[in-house]
Amino acid sequence: MAESHGAAANAHTEADGSHHGGFPPFESHTFASQLVSLAVAFALLYVIVSRFAVPRVGGAIEARQQKIDGDLAEARRLRDESDAALKAYEADLATARVRAQNIGNEAREKLSAQTDAERKTLEQQLAQQLAAAEQAITATRSAAMANVRGIAADAAGAIVQQLSGIAAYGTALNAAVDASLKG
């Protein structure tokens, strides 16, 4: 039975077309043809890759590099424009500040001059009013002093008449009142 089992297994292998050897790529009698087939396949693959795939990939890489270079150049140009615009803005801002300061100074000077002119005009008006008031005071004092002299002369005449019973003379009475007012 053991023989029949071995013969059956052998029959089964021969029916499948199997070889008794090892793995076909490692068999020595097919090794040379496999190397030739590998060399032909490699050469064919190399030609296909070098003629079609590499130029396409290289073209895509070159196009991408050109795009990147273009974008970088555009970014530099825009940065330079931005820097120039910033410098122009800062220059305009400095000019505007100077102009505003000058306008402020001119307005301050104008208002100061106008205030000085108004102050001088007001001082002149006050000086005129003060002079007029002093003249009025002087006139009032003179009138009051004239009235005081007359009142003093009348009072002195009335006192003399009351004490002595004699009416005082105008010139003597006026001389005594003048002496009294001066001294």
In a domain, 95, yes or no: yes
Secondary structure, 3-state, 96-163:
HHHHHHHHHHHHHHHHHHHHHHHHHHHHHHHHHHHHHHHHHHHHHHHHHHHHHHHHHHHHHHHHHHHH
Sign for the pseudo-dihedral over CA of 85, 86, 89, 91: negative
DSSP 17: T
In a domain, 2, yes or no: no
Contact 142, 149 (CB under 8 A): no
Write down the pLDDT at residue 17: 54
* Total domains in the fold of the chain: 1
**Tens digit of each residue's pLDDT (9 = 90 or more) over 160-170:** 778 877 776 67
- pLDDT band, residue 4 (cuts 50/70/90): low
- pLDDT band, residue 182 (cuts 50/70/90): confident
Write down the pLDDT at residue 18: 55
In which domain, by residue range, is 132 found? 54-182
Write down the pLDDT at residue 20: 59
Contact 27, 21 (CB under 8 A): yes
pTM attached to this predicted model: 0.40
**Tens digit of each residue's pLDDT (9 = 90 or more) over 101-123:** 999 999 999 999 999 999 999 99
Write down the pLDDT at residue 167: 74
In a domain, 114, yes or no: yes
Mean pLDDT of 32-53: 91
In a domain, 175, yes or no: yes
In a domain, 103, yes or no: yes
CA 34 to mean position of chain CA atoms: 80
In a domain, 9, yes or no: no
On the question of pLDDT at 13 being above 90, the answer is no
Write down the pLDDT at residue 153: 75
Contact 161, 168 (CB under 8 A): yes
Query: Locate tokens 């974008």: which residue?
Result: 71
The residue among 72 and 7 whose pLDDT is bigger is 72
Write down the pLDDT at residue 172: 73
In a domain, 135, yes or no: yes
In a domain, 5, yes or no: no
Write down the pLDDT at residue 6: 52
Which element (helix H / strand E) includes 44?
A: helix 31-48
**Tens digit of each residue's pLDDT (9 = 90 or more) over 55-87:** 888 889 999 999 999 999 999 999 999 999 999
